[in-house]
Amino acid sequence: MSTETGLEPRYTRTRHRTARGIAARSLLYAVLIAIAVVYIFPFLIDLATSFKSEADAAGDPLSLIPQTWTTAAYQRLFLSSDFPVWFKNSVIVTLLVTAGRVFLDSLAGYALARLQFRGRNTLFALLVGVMAVPGVVLLIPKFLVINQLGIYDSYAGMIVPLLTDAAGIFIMKNFFESIPASVEEQARIDGAGPFRVFWSVVLPMARPAVITIVILSFQGSWNELAHFIVSSQSPGLTTLTKGVAQLASGQLSQGTQYPLKLAAAAIMTIPVAIVFFVFQKRILNASDGAVKE
């Protein structure tokens, strides 16, 4: 307790003008910069190593400048491996899943928020219950059902199950509830049916929520691994995550081949990185706008 009183005067003054204040701020920056380096450096190493020769990668793993620049890893990936196929599959699946989720999530979210029908509360309770089922538990069950439905080893089997997105519906429902009901009333009076009201009046207003779903779905389906393992087997249907995971576990090739693997890892990071930087403001400062004081 004595320390408390002892320190009191310092805090009643404007503290960052004191020498200790400056020292404290420098320390803050030093600590943050050190942590930032730890967080960023691995990605720089990833990029640098992908342009190194194998010997260079093993010999000097820390250096960010390859002794001799080589694009051998990238050439091998794009010219003599299935990598382009994996990339294509990831793009197809991600785009379709994202589009599907945006549509289905907002449709269901709207119904749950705005339309009155018997059983709505039960549905919502079910939805919440379903959100609690951990994904990994579904690994074997999903395989069984996909199989039973006859869509195993097809795009349908890879895409359709990923459209289930209880969290997304939840987000959309919350958003629609925040839109004043008066907006729709007018359209209704003008004789628009529920789908018209949803499609041309409410959905355009939901842009921020839709963008959230886009970001989440894109990231989620681009980075998904387990589902693709159990839903397909043909090499023609391999996605980036599955392909690179198998490359990494050494099953496709012999030896370590770090430049090759790291080049693959770097390329698969690019699309999510682009989405991240495009929507960076929204992702990182999301809550800034929400502060109501």
Partner 1 sequence: MTTYSRQPRRGGLRRGEAASGWLFTAPMIILLGLFLVIPVLMALWVSFSDWGGRGSPFSGSVNFVGFKNYSTLLSGGGLAEQDFGTALKNNAWYVVLVVPLQTALALFLAVMVNRQILRGRGFFRTAFYFPSVTSSVAITVLWLFLFNSTGAVNKALSYLGVVGPNWFNDPAGIFHFGATSGPAFLEKSTALGVPLWDWIGGPSVAMFALILLAVFTTSGTFMLLFVAALQNLGGDIQEAAMMDGATGWQRFWRVTLPQLRPTLFTVLTLGLIGCWQVFDQIYTGTQGGPAKTTMTPAYLSYTSSFVNQSWGQGAAIAFILFVIIVFFTLFQRWVLRERAVSKRRMRQYTVATTAATSTPVAPAMAAGAAADTGEENER
Partner 2 sequence: MQRRTRWFTAGALAIAGALALTACGSGFSGNSSGGSTSNGLTKSSKPLTVLIGSSGDAETKAVDSAVADWSSSSGTKATVTVASNLAQQLSQGFSSGKPADVFYLSTDQLAGFASNGSLLAYGDKLANKSDFYPSLVQSFTYNGKFYCAPKDFSTLGLIINTDMWKAAGLTDADIPTTWAQLETVAKKLTTPKHVGLAIGGEYARIGAFMTQAGGNLMNATSTKATADTPENVAGLTEVKKLLNAGTLKYAKDVGAGWGGEAFGKGLAAMTIEGNWITGAMSTDFPSVKYQIAELPAGPAGKGTLQFTNCWGIAADSPNQTAALKLVEKLTSASDQLAFSKAFGPMPSIKSAAAEWKTANPMLVPFLNGADYAKGVPTAKGSADVVTDFNSKLESLATSDPKTILAAEQTNLEALVK
- Contact by Cβ (8 Å): 221, 240: no
Site for partner 2 in 176-215 (CB under 8 A): none
Residue 37 zone, left/alpha/beta (φ > 0; ψ -120 to 50; rest) = alpha
- Neighbour tally for 257: CB within 10 Å: 19
CA distances from 267 to 8, 123, 240, 243 (A): 54, 41, 9, 13
Q: What is the dihedral of CA 238, 239, 240, 241, to 10 degrees?
A: -100
Sites for partner 1 among residues 58-87 (CB under 8 A) = 58, 60-62
Which of 22, 144, 252, 278 lies at the binding interface for partner 1 (CB under 8 A)? 144
287 binds partner 1 (CB under 8 A): yes
Q: Which residues in the 179-198 window bind partner 1 by CB under 8 A? A: 185, 188-189, 193-195, 198
Q: Exposed/middle/buried for 114, CB within 10 Å: 0-12, 13-18, 19+? A: middle
Contacting residues for 263 by C-beta, under 8 A, at least 6 apart: 50, 73, 74, 77
CB of 208 or CB of 236, closer to partner 2 = 236
Q: Which does 252 bind (CB under 5 to 8 A by kind): partner 2, partner 1, none?
A: partner 2
Q: Is 121 an interacting residue with respect to partner 1 (CB under 8 A)?
A: yes
Kindly determine how many residues on this chain lie close enough to bind partner 2 according to the rule CB under 8 A. Answer: 30
50 and 262 Cβ atoms separated by less than 8 Å = yes
Residue 137 touches which member of partner 1, partner 2, none, C-beta under 5-8 Å by kind: partner 1
Stretch that binds partner 1, among 40-48, 68-76, 80-88, 91-99 (CB under 8 A): 40-48
Provide the minimum distance between the beta carbon of 97 and partner 2 in the complex, in angstroms, as a whole number: 22
Length of the chain: 293
Site for partner 2 in 250-269 (CB under 8 A): 250-256
* Interface residues toward partner 2, by CB under 8 A: 58, 119, 122, 126, 143, 145-153, 229-230, 233-235, 243, 246-247, 249-256
